[in-house]
Structure 1
């Protein structure tokens, strides 16, 4: 089953933002927006839910802190305790001030690396994946809004011309 979408091109981000507001108030469904750079406030204008990546970063940091604490305790207290500089390693708590930098670094390491993996999986960016950019001008200086068409194609084209669109194309998606 093929569905039709409109590819509406703009050449200014302020015009795009105003067009998004008008499109949402007219109850048209915006599939996706392609921009050459991040546009501040576009996610809120589209009505997208806030991201939960910060929660993931916190959990990944906790994993790194837990791993670092376990690793230091195992290496320096349980497995091979050493008397370094006249400071014996009897308990973890007594030596914790010297372990804080290692725990901090492992927290940051785990959070950073696991966030990169999460971002790639969430964005579906796999190695050797073909680009899904519908128009190459969106990597340079144009903004593309992809809007689904129900059965009012001509009405939508005239609506988007009024919003300041530079170019409008009707595309059949498979």
Structure 2
């Protein structure tokens, strides 16, 4: 494992995208790209696997729907049946059209909230966590591409300068 990384700084997202494609064509592995805002298509250009958060969202929505059905059956049919608007209080199926808004709302509630929690846990983002970006400019106006050095520093430096890097620096891998 390499102990040094090279940081290439870019000040334009289009130049960064072009640089990522050039670096991947040259068969170099990009460890990370730090951006001040999401860059459309960067994940595909870097060759990252697609996210599975949509699958978890669907599962959380199904959980919310199941909780809504169980909750309404227990509350409105089993525990405290009431005659509301002439609807029979002994059958969940006959009352289900009136329960659709509740089912929809709990499905969306569970999917949204649990998906956000999953995203934060999966991304290892929690309160008081120290920032992992190598330079504070990545939160303002610069993009930083991080590549491990494997006895190819000069070749990498020349390639990065050709791709439009405005600044290049070498750092220890565990400095940030």
Contact 1:2/1:172, CA 8 A, preserved across alignment: no
Match of 2:133 in 1: 133
Q: Considering only aligned residues, what root-mean-square deviation do their CA atoms show, in Å?
A: 1.1
C-alpha separation in 1, matches of 2:84 and 2:160 = 72
User: What is the aligned partner in structure 1 of residue 65 from structure 2?
Assistant: 65
Please give the secondary structure, in 1, of the residue aligned with 2:137: helix
Q: Unaligned regions of 5+ residues in structure 2, if any? A: none
Equivalent positions of 1:19-168 (< 5 A) are 19-168=19-168
The gaps in structure 1 that reach 5 residues or longer are none
CA distance in 1, matches of 2:167, 2:33: 15
The aligned residue for residue 10 of structure 1 is 10
Query: 1:2 offset after TM fit, Å?
Result: 6.3
TM-score, normalised with respect to structure 1: 0.97
The two structures have a TM-score, normalised by structure 2, of 0.96
Q: In the superposition, relative to structure 1, how do residues 42 and 2 fare at CA in structure 2: closer, same or farther (>3 Å)? A: closer
Query: What is the count of residue pairs matched by the alignment?
Result: 174
Residues 2, 150 of structure 2: 8 Å contact kept? no
Deviations 1:37-61 (A, max 9, x none): 1111000000001110000000000
Deviation readout 1:52-81 (Å, 9 max, x if unpaired): 000000000000000000000001111111
